Amino acid sequence: MTITEDTSTDTPEQAEFRAEVRAFLAANAKPRQEDSPFAINAHTSEAEAREAFETGCRWQRTLFENNLAGLTYPVEYGGRGGHPWHETIYREEAARYDVSSGFIAATMAMLLPTLMKHASDEQKAYYVPRMLSAEISICQLFSEPGAGSDLASLACRAVRDGDEFVVTGQKVWNSAAQFCNWGMLLTRTDPDAPKHQGITFVLVDMSSPGIEVRPLVQPTGASHFNEVFLSEVRVPVANVVGEINGGWAPARTVLSNESAFIGGGSGQSLFETLRLLAERFGVLDDPVIRQELAVAYSREKVLGFVGDRIMSAIRRREVPPVDPSILKLFIAESKVHSGNLGMRIAGPAGQAGGSEESRWVQFELINRFGISIGGGTNEVQRNNLAERALGLPREPGYDKTKPWRDIPRS
């Protein structure tokens, strides 16, 4: 794989940082090998998933030890105190190497900006450097069996007992919860308040007595997701992020950052893989296929441009100029388009073939709808855009002002 970047416009400060990153990567990382464009990136066992998680943590620690973690975060919290261009240059140079912080990069992208906005100074001083060094790895404990798309209806109960909350409830679809040592947890602390107003956001040590993690085995053999049971788990009140009963605000920040992260994509060009697929199946000259490839190319470019704008704003701790929900919605729809297009190109071989290309097409087809659900369904994203970006009236509902305990639940 050949990656070239135009460095002629670097300022002297940028050129100096680029040289620092290049020297660091040359000393600490392996150059990326040329992989097949049709290789499937999916774990097939629990051991393989754990090794990938631990490898990501090790790399994050290496970055921290070399002052390359948290490039835009304040020095007093373990960061470098740099600018968004530091992140851009690092990503450009790291693309040549087989390195990644893996799963914890996702939760850092979701939670670190949330802590900077909502946490106390003491909490920032404790959690931010420990997350940047991978001493703390955090899973998301939001969704419940009866509270997925309508997350604010969650029922996991937290009752205050002096300086602690006693938490009892169930969470589900918790990525890497079996590996992480901390969790960001949404709890119901006031059942007499409307559902959005009685929620509290807390950070919980996953080794606390009363926490049980049960992996959910997927068809691949790995367990990316888990269900988590909490039985009278004691959590210090000092672990509350934001205000007691005001947890919906930091939760919304996490969800917005999650949409931006998911919408940012993997950095690989799906269009190039689809174009190569069309070439191998001899349909590159088909006018209909060419038109659909043009659509895939255009969508990929739009995602890149919009994603860069949103992530640059988040790194500056600014409100994104574009609502992240539009990015999440657009990538979900683009994934459906690319999965359908891959099957259209491959034809019967996409369903029955055993070649590397056929397996890739089958994987894309099966997984085309997953991103439409994870991180908030398309319907939720459309509601967010209607209300937040377009200023339309809120979706009517009888339960927005009723006490949570009076709302019927299944």
Distance of CA 333 to the CA centre of its chain: 17
Select which of 93, 144, 227, 258 is catalytic.
Answer: 258
The DSSP bridge partners found for residue 201 are: 186
* Catalytic residue list contains 258: yes
Active site amino acids: 258
